[in-house]
Amino acid sequence: GQSLEQPSEVTAVEGAIVQINCTYQTSGFYGLSWYQQHDGGAPTFLSYNALDGLEETGRFSSFLSRSDSYGYLLLQELQMKDSASYFCAVKTGGFKTIFGAGTRLFVKA
Amino acid sequence: NAGVTQTPKFQVLKTGQSMTLQCAQDMNHEYMSWYRQDPGMGLRLIHYSVGAGITDQGEVPNGYNVSRSTTEDFPLRLLSAAPSQTSVYFCASSYSGQETQYFGPGTRLLVL
């Protein structure tokens, strides 16, 4: 079967750094994406890694290790508005994308 | 640009009823997909399309039909609604070769 594992909840303090991990087991792999979803809203794209290494976009960075089937999303200088759910997603063969169950991030003042 | 639009926003159905969830995008995206989101289970792919006239099944296609007669529209049909289809449904679109999927605001469906 295909599976993506990520923690169900993470709590951090405003201004801190938090890392959300994702491990995957899929029949095909083209790349790892991250999406953010606020309560009641639609998922919005954050980042995509097709190759090993770190991609940085402002306060957010994403890392991929294909040999370890592992990636993470790093959020720096946390703000209250970062409280949301974060999903990792793997693009598999046949133009399909498989999503993880999501990590709920709580940012405390 | 309106982006990806979905109608209706909310719907209540009785078991056995049929209905169509509408999805439209004005970005000329080739790829369109339908997902359902249930608590604690993330997003699961129902059906997807790589262009007009071409559709394929995702992870959970049973009980749903799709068609893609135009680039802009990708309706999802529930043939005979069941309580297990109570969920939030998201439509998404993207350009060919790009990874960013743009999601619509979702349709919240309750089947009694």
Cα dist from A32 to A66, B27, B68, whole Å: 9, 24, 27
pLDDT recorded at residue B96: 81
Interface of B with A in 69-98 (CB under 8 A): 90, 92
Asked if the Cβ–Cβ distance from A97 to B104 is below 8 Å, we say no
Amino acid at A67: S
Asked if the Cβ–Cβ distance from A43 to B43 is below 8 Å, we say yes
Instruction: Report chain A residues whose CB lies below 8 A from the CB of B92.
Output: 43
pLDDT recorded at residue A1: 73
Cα dist from A61 to A24, A48, A53, A78, whole Å: 18, 10, 10, 13
Asked if the Cβ–Cβ distance from B45 to A45 is below 8 Å, we say no
Asked if the Cβ–Cβ distance from A96 to B42 is below 8 Å, we say no
d(CA B99, CA A34): 10
Picking from B6, B8, B22, B10, the residue whose alpha carbon sits closest to that of residue B86 is: B10
> Which of the four pLDDT bands, split at 50, 70 and 90, describes residue A94?
low
CA distance B16 to chain A (A): 27
d(CA B91, CA B26): 13
Is 80 exceeded by the pLDDT of residue B97?
no
Put simply, whether A29 touches B (Cβ < 8 Å) is no
Put simply, whether B60 touches A (Cβ < 8 Å) is no
- Each residue of B31-68: pLDDT tens digit? 999 999 998 778 999 999 999 999 999 999 999 999 99
